Amino acid sequence: MKSESIKITVLEAAEIEKVLKIQMECNLTSWNYIDYLKAIQNDELVTLVAKTKKEINGFIVARLIINKDFNPILLKQKSSEKLGQTSYSPENEAEIYSFAIAKKYQNKGIGKQLFSKFKEMAKKNEIDLIWLEVRKSNINAIEFYKKNNFSQSYQRKNYYNNPTEDGIVMKLVL
């Protein structure tokens, strides 16, 4: 598939049903129509779709966590008060909630382009770190994330249901 035929746009309400079909096909944790509608309306969430010839090929939903209250002087004071130990984090982070490409469009570069667009948006918002969880059995997704410089942070025992399965938490430092 030629890269110029792929268009990345913001998810619109009229496209949610197509996203729900991809979600089901890819066995993702279920969101419903209302969840996606709320996501579209939430300023903290990024909702992007990849399209070819007006057909939805994939989507990504992520939350941008912007630390607007970061103050390096205050951080230094809090750190010294606690002898160098602080839970206050200066990073702006993102968490990918859902990311899928329809099976017939997988391994055609669409996921890479969609993720690149999301990463570009994250960088414009001064995001330092991107987090996600993935099923331990989803080897294709894990390999995709590793190719895109994610590293495994830790494992969450029995994180997923239907079927019960461990989740792998991965991060990408930008």
Q: Which domains does the chain have, with CATH numbers?
A: 3-127 (3.40.630.30)
* pLDDT, tens digit, 9 for 90 and up, residues 3-56: 448 999 999 999 999 999 999 999 887 899 999 999 999 988 999 999 988 799
CA 41 from centroid of its chain's CA atoms:
17
Q: How confident is the model at residue 90, as a pLDDT?
A: 55
Go through the chain and tell me how many residues it has: 174
CA distance 69 to 126: 14
Locate tokens 């993702």: which residue? 28
CA distance 160 to 133: 10
Q: How confident is the model at residue 52, as a pLDDT?
A: 87
The pTM for the full model equals 0.82
* pLDDT, tens digit, 9 for 90 and up, residues 56-105: 999 999 999 887 665 444 444 443 344 444 444 557 899 999 999 999 99
Secondary-structure breakdown of the chain: helix, strand, coil percentages, each rounded to the nearest 5: 35, 35, 30
CA distance 57 to 101: 6
Better-predicted residue by pLDDT, 148 or 161: 148
Q: How confident is the model at residue 135, as a pLDDT?
A: 92
- Written as six digits, the tokens of 118 are 């999301």
What is the chain's Cα-based Rg? 18
Across 81-85, 111-115, 120-124, the highest mean pLDDT is recorded for 111-115
Residue 64 near residue 94 (C-beta atoms within 8 A) = yes
